[in-house]
Structure 1
């Protein structure tokens, strides 16, 4: 049974059978914006380009690597990005992830203690105008979901209106065990570099 995450909730990566998740996917799903035509007649669909990214830090909270649409693999090859989705779901929610970032904790550089996930609106679309956006953590591959471990709805809150970036959550290592902190906080940042700085200062 998947956990419906709440903002600020912290969970361990332990499955129902007691084993630990070692290889996970973070899938991001969002919708294009449907606009009504003049005088209320007709509709048009506007593409939304959201960018999922993750930043890797060592135990001293020093940035060591970034995975995003411009660098699809971490240096240790433990983290992979599925590639840039430029539109979102144009025909309504199809139930599939638009972007997926996979993490293999067993291959991750041992010096890495934090893996932070962020979401930025490349063209500056206000999160408050996007019809739906969510993340889910699951076992499997970008094309095959074995078991959904946790789900998190990130867009249906008034606090997201006016923001074009957010910190989704942070995986962090404690005593050799990985846990997840569901942050879900919008920021006033405009670019990925600014969001990474916000994470460094506030969420590690």
Structure 2
């Protein structure tokens, strides 16, 4: 499964040895905005990006949202690392600022879609952030086994002028989990609106 997906691509989550993917992480790494000060110095403006996850059943009913105000799903299958309010203030440290982990073996059997979205809490335009990247990978927050989708939202065409996006959707088809790498900005301003867009357009 050594695939680096482009947006719009779909894969099933079977590994090359025939086993099923169990643990997936969605990690976001971003930086504070640099601004020129009055006397030519550089000041840093904190950026609060929020990774969130929405669970749905077969009928597109929303079961639960995991976000900075609800860090763990009821079944314990999805865990959010916590809210990062600033981004990297001292330049890119190469580490993810927020990570959501998903363990398919613990997931509520009623869940048939798991959608991941990103919102800029204070409305910072994605195009103004010096670096902001997403990676969706097999592994744990401390160990990356295999990255299978990456998005560069600070430099990617189409993200400038937007403050929210849909990263991708894991979905169950004929009992098998698959992944749709969406990577699309939306016109939404808030998490609730972005979740509604997922419900209406991406399931």
With normalisation by structure 1, the TM-score equals 0.93
Q: How does 1:145-164 map to 2 (within 5 A)?
A: 145-155=143-153, 156-164=155-163
**Map of 1:12 onto structure 2:** 12
1:201 maps to what in 2?
Answer: 200
- Is there any run of 5+ residues in structure 1 with no aligned partner, and where? none
Instruction: Please report the RMSD computed on the Cα atoms of aligned residues, expressed in angstroms.
Output: 1.5
Structure 1 match to 2:30: 30
Alignment of 1:26-105 (within 5 A): 26-38=26-38, 41-105=40-104
Alpha-carbon shift at residue 17 of structure 1 (Å): 2.4
Kept in 2, the 8 Å contact 1:25–1:103? The answer is yes
User: Can you give the 5+ residue segments of structure 2 that lack an aligned partner in the other structure?
Assistant: none
User: In the TM superposition, what is the alpha-carbon distance from 1:149 to its structure 2 partner?
Assistant: 2.9
Q: Offset at 1:138?
A: 2.5
Contact 1:128 1:158 in 2 (8 A): no
Deviation at 1:15, TM superposition (A): 2.2
Q: CA deviation at 1:2?
A: 4.7
Q: Secondary structure at the match of 2:196?
A: helix
- How far did 1:111 drift? 0.8
What is the SS of the residue equivalent to 1:173? strand
Q: What is the distance in 2 between the residues matched to 1:52 and 1:67?
A: 9
Offset of residue 193 of structure 1 = 0.4
Q: Partner of 1:117 in structure 2? A: 116
Contact kept in structure 1, 2:133 and 2:150, CA below 8 Å:
yes
Deviations along 1:95-151, whole A, 9 cap, x unmatched? 111001111111111110000000000111001111222222223322x11402313
Moved over 3 A (4+): none
Confirm or deny: 8 A CA contact 1:154 1:184 kept in the other structure.
Answer: no
CA distance in 2, matches of 1:86, 1:191: 16
Aligned length: 202
Moved more, 132-141 or 122-131: 132-141
Partner of 2:133: 134
Contact 1:134 1:151 in 2 (8 A): no
- Could you report, residue by residue, the CA deviation over 1:141-173 in whole angstroms, capped at 9, with x for unpaired residues? 22x114023131231223111111111110001
Q: Is the Cα–Cα contact under 8 Å of residues 6 and 149 in structure 2 kept in the other structure?
A: no
What SS does the aligned partner of 1:183 have? strand
SS of the residue 2:139 aligns to: strand
TM-score (norm 2): 0.94
